[in-house]
Amino acid sequence: MRNLSNLMGRRLSLALLSLLAVLAVGCGSSNNDFVVSGGGNNIFTTGSLSYLLRVNDVTSLPNGTTLLRFDLYDGNGNLILSSNATVSDVFEIDEVDGDVRSTTVTAFDEDGFPIGQVTVPSEVVLGADTDIDLSNAVFTPITFDALTATPDPAELGTDETLQLALQASFSNGATVVLPSASFPQSAAFVSNDTDVVTVNSAGVLTGGEAGNTTVSATYTINGVGRSDTVDASVTNLDVVATFISIRALLANEFDDFSVSVGGNLQPGYVARLTLPSGQVENISATELSFTFDPAVAGFSVSSSGEVSVAGTVALNTTANLRVSYTDGNGKTYSDIMVITAGGNG
């Protein structure tokens, strides 16, 4: 940034440098006569552009402007240089390529959203500083035009969580990824069926029962709200442990079970996958994986689901056994079984 007095001093320096360059080219004959020579190469390959943002206390910057971006383009619309600046009277860019033909100035508010834009001709004079008066420039207002929520569709398992992401689109073609930290203050989320999916103020989805629904998101910028809707589906994996009753010669099913302290137990496992459509698929026990989540000292499980409890584990200590299934698309669904250190269930 430079003020106007510094700018004038710099221009005098540039003029002096230009004169010295001419004298250097023109001198050098054997009799020390002064000769102006032609045909020499211009020693300057760049120039400077000074953007006058305020002249005589007049400025046309949009209200609320806290940051400006200057995008410099050549005659074919190729971006040559981009530079940011805070608001002041004058903003100067040095060493600007001579191919520059125009500048697009974009104004941003304190939240980083674009609010106005103007494009002005910008001819660069090599070796000199050129003024571009923006004090009366007409900035075109930039509007918040659309909101995009992702992922869409949102696919979850029961009890699985998923963070929605939001992106704002503006009338100048710019897009801004909206920070999730701003969601509780600036966004609103609604699930069309909370039995299937719930959503909190931070945009986090949680899967419930198997089914399909939609979730809408609305975001407000400078008093303007825009909305988008995503399709959401939930698939439920239900796993039970089976034990043979010697007396009845029947397999009894248990959501949770106990393992004796210092012992181990290999139950059978029955897994059913309920799709969003309501269709139920039986999953082979050989397709399941097992892990304690979180890990609990003294509890271990084999790849076949055999659970062991060390003799050092206190009676009635519990641990969550996560049983998972991964489908052909690489999506993993899980169910939790509670294992208690004690007697056999």
φ/ψ bin of 201: left (φ > 0), alpha (ψ from -120 to 50), beta (otherwise): alpha
Per-residue pLDDT at 59:
87
Question: What value does the mean pLDDT take over residues 84-95?
Answer: 94
Q: How far apart are CA 133 and CA 146, in angstroms?
A: 33
- Residue 39: pLDDT above 50? no
φ/ψ bin of 223: left (φ > 0), alpha (ψ from -120 to 50), beta (otherwise): left
Q: Look-up: residue for tokens 């698309």?
A: 329
Q: What is the mean pLDDT of the chain?
A: 88
Sequence spans of domains, the chain? 4-141, 144-234, 236-342
Q: Where are the alpha helices (DSSP H) in the chain?
A: 4-26, 183-186
- Residue 170: pLDDT above 80? yes
- pLDDT-above-90 percentage for the chain: 80
| DSSP calls for 8-73 | HHHHHHHHHHHHHHHHHHH---TT-------SPPPS--EEEEEEE--BTTB--PPTT--EEEEEEE
- Residue 221: pLDDT above 90? yes
Instruction: Identify the architecture of domain 144-234 in CATH.
Output: Sandwich (2.60)
92-96, 248-252, 301-305: which range is least confident on average? 248-252
43-52, 64-73, 205-214: which range is least confident on average? 43-52
φ/ψ bin of 202: left (φ > 0), alpha (ψ from -120 to 50), beta (otherwise): alpha
- Residue 30: pLDDT above 80? no
Q: How far apart are CA 167 and CA 148, in angstroms?
A: 5
Yes or no: say if 128 and 48 are a contact pair by the CB < 8 Å rule.
Answer: yes
Q: Tell me: cis bond preceding 151? Omega within 30 of 0 counts.
A: yes
Per-residue pLDDT at 42:
57
The third-level CATH classification (topology) of the domain covering 236-342 is Immunoglobulin-like (2.60.40)
pLDDT band at 33 (very low <50, low <70, confident <90, very high): very low
- Residue 20: pLDDT above 50? no
Question: What value does the mean pLDDT take over residues 187-213?
Answer: 98
Query: Which carries the bigger pLDDT value, residue 19 or residue 81?
Result: 81
Domain pair 4-141 / 144-234, same fold: yes
Q: What is the pLDDT of residues 137-162, one digit of tens each?
A: 999 999 999 999 999 999 999 999 99
Per-residue pLDDT at 1:
40
Per-residue pLDDT at 223:
94
- Residue 238: pLDDT above 90? yes
- Residue 203: pLDDT above 80? yes
| 4-141 to CATH, choices 2.60.40, 2.30.30, 2.50.20, 3.30.300 | 2.60.40
